[in-house]
Amino acid sequence: MTEPTPRRVDPDVDLRVPADRGELRAHPAVVLGVIAAGGVLGALARAGVQAAFPHPPTGFGWATFGVNVSGCLLIGALMAVVTTGRVPPLTRPFLGVGVLGGYTTFSTYVVDVRQAAAAGAAGTALAYLAATLLGAVAAVWVGDAAGRLLGRATGAREGETATGRPGADGARADGGPS
Amino acid sequence: MTVLLIALGAAVGAPLRYLTDRAVQSRHASPFPWGTLTVNVVGSLVLGALVAAPVGPAVSALLGTGFCGALTTYSTFGYETLRLARDGSRLLALVNALTSVAAGLGAATLGYAATRALVG
């Protein structure tokens, strides 16, 4: 499969994607505003989960683990829908950069690993470090697969109503079931 | 009150991540996510320093849970790692994962040690 623009690597902002490149200059206050608003919602959700499931210094940080892995599942699904389906313009800045970026955290992850190791629980520290890393990448993969199905379904439906029949006629002219 | 402080920290941290990412990524042409690595390492350094400091719950909520939590991100990091691997750069994906974790841990440890040295 070839695509005219390079495939996105960074879900927050990939400057090789034309829409990302121009969005800040076009609407700086709106873009930064929705990112801030989303970040607040995500951070409060994370704080709520962490307050509900506290862990001792030597323990496994299940709350942050759950937050980071579920956030990765959601970014995988979100970006698949954003790139394959049709979504409102501020969907990525608000939900991806803001909500999910604010919800997940890298700093608490490494600080908890350091704390567990320093408290003498090296095994827990290593297990938490590896489980989050592997769980996160696996979760993005699962989310991406689910999101592609969803995006393809919505994209195909909208495509039919938007472009009408000519494309489909051309495609079916060579031997498709009539 | 805690909720407001977390919200305030996150309202600054999340847009700052976006702006830093843009600024860093505009300075090179490779697909390697240096921007995300930068915010994650800086946020880990600040949080590492903060947890060793004799600060109250208000400062922790504002700077730790709010600012550092929203400045750093695991979702963006996880997505980029998978994306690099999928695009045929498995080595780059592995380098990104290992560098982020090692640099983040190093930064948190450095921040922690620096604060301990300062406050005794």
ipTM for the predicted complex: 0.97
Q: What is residue A117's predicted lDDT score, i.e. its pLDDT?
A: 97
Residue of A nearest to B7 (CA): A40
Q: What is residue A102's predicted lDDT score, i.e. its pLDDT?
A: 98
- Give SS3 for B71: helix
* Domain containing residue A31: 18-161
Q: Which residue has the tokens 């969803």?
A: A150
Look at B14 and A104 and tell me if their CB atoms are within 8 Å.
no
Whether A38 is in a domain gets the answer yes
Nearest CA among B2, B34, B69 for reference residue A46: B69
- Give SS3 for A101: helix
Look at A9 and B84 and tell me if their CB atoms are within 8 Å.
yes
Q: Does B120 touch chain A (CB under 8 A)?
A: no
| DSSP, res A99 | I
Is B38 assigned to a binding site?
Answer: no
Interface of B with A in 36-55 (CB under 8 A): 36, 40, 43-44, 46-48, 51
- Domain count of the fold of chain B: 1
Whether A144 is in a domain gets the answer yes
Of A7, A8, A35, the CB nearest to B14: A35
pLDDT in tens, chain B (120 residues): 999 999 999 999 999 999 999 999 999 988 899 999 999 999 999 999 999 999 999 999 999 999 999 999 999 999 999 999 998 789 999 999 999 999 999 999 999 999 999 997
Q: What is residue A156's predicted lDDT score, i.e. its pLDDT?
A: 56
* Domain containing residue B97: 2-119
Whether A105 is in a domain gets the answer yes
- Domain count of the fold of chain A: 1
Below-70 pLDDT ranges, chain A: 1-6, 154-178
